[in-house]
Amino acid sequence: MKILVTGGLGFIGSHTTVELQNKGYEVIIIDDLSNSTEKVLDGIVAITGKRPIFEKLDLKEKSKVEDFFKRHQDVAGVIHFAASKAVGESVEKPLLYYENNIGTLVYLLKELSQKNKSSFIFSSSCTVYGQADKMPITESAPVKAAESPYGNTKQMGEEIIHDTCKVTPGINAIALRYFNPMGAHPSTEIGELPIGVPQNLVPFITQTGIGLREQLSVFGGDYPTSDGTCIRDYIHVVDLAKAHVVALERLLNGKNSENYEVFNVGTGKGSTVLEAIKSFERVSGKKLNYKIVDRRPGDITSAYADTTKANKVLGWKAESTLDEAMKSAWLWEQKVRK
């Protein structure tokens, strides 16, 4: 069965492609290479022994999207990762984010709505909850006003899909609300490759550990948590990738109870920034140079998932511990800097 993975050469997309191929799906990747390279394909081949079909395509080019679906009428499902994801950049360039993340989603849904049946998985984020009032966060927690255009594109994306599904019975969709993805494939053939200075915690930790950055700034030590630093739910990217396959199969097999559903994808366990640092020190045997500095504007105190719905309804559960995920991130960092 043919599955289109947009943004399939990115961090989560490449790991999901591997899991899809491991289960026998034929994967077509489209990616504009704005935040990835074709070399990722070699990593996927090294793990799975199979080269996915790859087309360099920018989803903003509507006529090319139309042409793609004309040429690939047998696409049974779409997992849509392609999007811009830097929060700070989105504040500076809102229209770029609305065009990249919303315009492209609309073009894809237009194509899918012309098919008799299609299955669609959307990369959403726990950012839609903002600072939730209760921990752990369930899917019924209210969606709060977005802190950034990036966050807004995830909220709007969900609404656009929901509205489309209401009037298009042929489209079945699932939005996966990711918590904090991290780590790399255990083979170290693929992993996270942030361009420039990493914005996210884990790549900043491993780059500091390897000596590429001098010091990690811990943003805020005065939050109302056990050690004063923020709490997040760090999920191994391979666990996250597997959640996509399970969600897709729910749709392909017609097991969904509604034609638009949302699921949290996290581990259910919250860790502070200092706990993440300790995990790194345990698995690497290195001391990390870090300093507690001012809070980062827009950060929330705490976010971790109630995963009951995903566990029960999808039959999926994250398996890796923070240490296992951190170890994989560290092995990957060492490999790419060799």
Q: Which residues are designated catalytic?
A: 150
Write down the residue that tokens 């706990």 correspond to: 275
Cβ(115)–Cβ(135) below 8 Å: no
What residues contact residue 19 under an 8 Å CB cut-off, 6+ apart?
238, 241, 242, 244, 245
Least distance to ligand UD1 from the beta carbon of 279, Å?
A: 13
Least distance to ligand UD1 from the beta carbon of 80, Å?
A: 16
Nearer Cβ to ligand UD1, position 106 or 292? 292
Q: What angle do helix axes 11-22 and 237-252 make, rounded to 10 degrees?
A: 60
Six token digits for residue 280: 């790194």
The residues in 242-271 that bind ligand UD1, with binding defined as CB under 6 A, are none
SS3 state of residue 116 = coil
Q: Please tell me whether residue 98 binds ligand UD1 under the rule CB under 6 A.
A: no
Nearer Cβ to ligand UD1, position 141 or 165? 141
The residues in 284-303 that bind ligand UD1, with binding defined as CB under 6 A, are 296, 298-299
The residues in 45-84 that bind ligand UD1, with binding defined as CB under 6 A, are none
Q: Residue 29's beta-bridge partner residues?
A: 5, 54
What residues contact residue 243 under an 8 Å CB cut-off, 6+ apart?
176, 263, 265, 310, 314, 316
* x/- letters, 170..189, toward ligand UD1 (CB under 6 A): ----------x---------
* x/- letters, 151..170, toward ligand UD1 (CB under 6 A): x-------------------
Least distance to ligand UD1 from the beta carbon of 254, Å?
A: 31
* x/- letters, 188..217, toward ligand UD1 (CB under 6 A): -----------xxx--x-----------xx
Six token digits for residue 162: 């929901």
Q: Residue 137's beta-bridge partner residues?
A: 305
**Count of chain residues binding ligand UD1 (CB under 6 A):** 20
Least distance to ligand UD1 from the beta carbon of 231, Å?
A: 8
Give DSSP secondary structure letters for 193-247. --SSS--SHHHHHHHHHTTSSS-EEEE-S-SSSSSSS-EE-EEEHHHHHHHHHHH
Pairing between β-strand 26-31 and β-strand 2-6 as defined by DSSP bridges: parallel
Query: Which chain residues interact with ligand UD1 by CB under 6 A?
Result: 85, 87, 125, 127, 151, 180, 199-201, 204, 216-219, 230, 232, 273, 296, 298-299
